[in-house]
Amino acid sequence: MQPVAVVTGAARGIGAATVHGLAAAGWAVVATDRASDDPRLRYALGTHVELRSVAESAARLAPAPSADARRETVVARTVDTTDPAELAAAVALAEERFGGLDAMVAVAGVIAGGVPLWEMADDEIAAVVDVDLKGPIIAAQVGIPALLRRSEPRRGRFVAVASAAATRGLPGLAAYGAAKAGVTGLIRGLAADLAGTGVTANAVSPGSTDTAMLAESGRLYGLADTGSFAEQALLRRLLAPAEVASALVWLAGPESSGLTGAILPVDGGLAV
């Protein structure tokens, strides 16, 4: 039976790489993204064009007996992850189109700050908390019931993206760090709630990854480029989105059966 996943934040960066990784591993995927800018934030988010492109390129990676089957393996949907009804509709699509749900992968995230918390605009704080913490909470609310609808013995996976900022204080990013620390608490609590169900909850905690979000971090700090972030990690380089995505794909699969409530650091040694 082909496993089925819903991925949020799929238009670019780690989300896009996760869709590619899952498709290449034989998963059917509903790839979701807001696919529009958030007026509360000062940088451009993913687009409809990027989301469609990710779905099309991922479908070409999928092992399938025919080109038609490959095209049907990955579908793209515009979804605001802070809207329970929209995300629930994506989960329903996964169940209707592919027969069920095996992994809910909450990747969508944004960043804002660059100043002490008390100097941040209220709408920027709200955007960070809404997307980075409320989004994964909603993903759990609408995704886990679908994971539990699989017949026993089930192997459902709830997977989220935290951040090295959840454990390492970063100047000007207190709201972001608080939201990501909330994700780690969410994962541990979900793991406890899911005990004995066959469904696990885990997270990946990335470090400085070469994405549009990191470019925005550089702008917030007034940096000419993101190269200086590499010096903070023991690997002395930025991570590629695919490196983080590979951990997410692994956590979504059967090989991670021994983990639940875990926060897996894929940060190049940033938080050591």
Selection from 18, 19, 16, 32 nearest residue 83 by Cα? 32
Contacts 24+ apart (CB under 8 A), 150-154: 150/100, 150/101, 150/102, 152/198, 153/198, 154/197, 154/198, 154/199
Burial class, 168, CB count within 10 angstroms (exposed 0-12 / middle 13-18 / buried 19+): middle
Residue 18 corresponds to which tokens in the numbers above? 């996760």
Angle, alpha carbons 222-231-272 (nearest 5°): 115
Structural tokens at position 134? 């409320």
- Rounded-to-integer distance, Cα 190 and Cα 208, Å: 26
Burial of 92 (0-12, 13-18, 19+ CB in 10 A): middle
d(CA 264, CA 161): 10
Burial 206-230 (b: 16+ CB within 10 A, else e): bbbbbbbbbebbbebbeeeebeebb
Q: Which of 62, 5, 56 is nearest to 30 (CA)?
A: 5
**Is residue 202 classed as helix, strand or coil in its secondary structure?**
strand
Question: Active-site residues: which are they?
Answer: 176
Strands (E), the chain: 4-7, 28-33, 74-78, 103-106, 157-161, 200-206, 263-266
